[in-house]
Amino acid sequence: MTAELSVHFRRRCDAIATRWRNQLGLANFEPLAARQLAAAMTATLYRPKEVPNLSAEISTFMECNDKWHGVIVSFEPRTILYNPQQSPAGFESTIMHELAHFLLHHPPIKLYALTTERYYREYDDLIEREAAFLGGCLQIPRGGILWAKQGELSKEAIAAHFGASERMVQWRLNTVKF
Ligand SMILES: [Zn+2]
């Protein structure tokens, strides 16, 4: 999944994750809730039924549909729409991923493109892998993985500590080089 991401890029992500934790008075081994980071980044999170001017029909459809996780609806001001039908760990991962798009200054995907073939091509593109990588770093920084390894924490314990899914923990364990 991250084979094409450069060492330089990975280090940059580690640095971004550490900088935000520092700014919030947190060590790399401490959990950072997506809502806390979003607030620090002045990003607003909405579930569909909270969006002003969204029709009840669309809002209800989105609230009940589990085929999506989250989407950036505005870069300025920073606004993320998320699916409330996610596990707490899924929510954390989704929001960190979308915040990563902001932090990496990715170009907005125009909403009109959501329904076109172009969107599906772009969805698997480099920016998605980059956001996935940084999102993982934000949830569980490199220092957090090293700390957990040192303390011989189980995958379940790491997941519970960081509010992450076990899948995310496994991915970070595979990704972080020692
Ligand atoms: Zn994305």
pTM of the full structure: 0.89
How far is ligand 1, taken at its centre, from the CA of residue 124, in Å? 9
Domain contains 119: yes
Contact 91, 82 (CB under 8 A): yes
What is the CA(178)–ligand 1 centre distance, in A? 27
Domain coverage including residue 75:
7-175
Q: How far is the CA of 158 from the centre of ligand 1 (A)?
A: 24
Using CA atoms, how far residue 38 sits from 24, 98, 99, 118, in Å, is 12, 10, 7, 29
Condensed to tens digits (0 to 9), the pLDDT of residues 69-85 reads 999 989 999 999 999 99
pLDDT at 118: 52
The residue type found at 157 is: A
- Confirm whether 2 is domain-assigned: no
Q: What is the pLDDT of residue 96?
A: 98
Predicted local distance difference test score (pLDDT) of residue 2: 45
Distance 102 CA to ligand 1 centre (A): 10
- Name the pLDDT band for 53 (thresholds 50, 70, 90): confident
- Residue burial 28-62, b: 16+ Cβ < 10 Å; e: rest: bbebbbbeebbeeeebebeebeeeeebeeeeeeeb
- Residue 29, in any domain of the structure: yes
Identity at 158, one-letter amino acid code: I
Listed residue (41, 51, 12, 43) closest to 142, CA to CA = 12
Structural contact between residues 164 and 139, judged by C-beta atoms closer than 8 angstroms: yes
For residue 150, the CA-to-ligand 1 centroid distance in Å is 32
| Overall domain count for the chain | 1
Ligand 1 mean position, distance from CA 74 (Å): 13
Amino acid sitting at position 160: A
Does residue 134 fall inside a structural domain?
Answer: yes
Cα(107) to ligand 1 centroid in Å equals 11
Domain-embedded: residue 1: no
The 10s digit of each residue's pLDDT in 95-136 is 999 999 999 999 876 554 455 555 555 555 788 999 999 999
Dihedral of CA 140/162/156/149: which sign? positive
Distance 101 CA to ligand 1 centre (A): 7
Give CA–CA dist 98/81, Å, rounded. Answer: 9
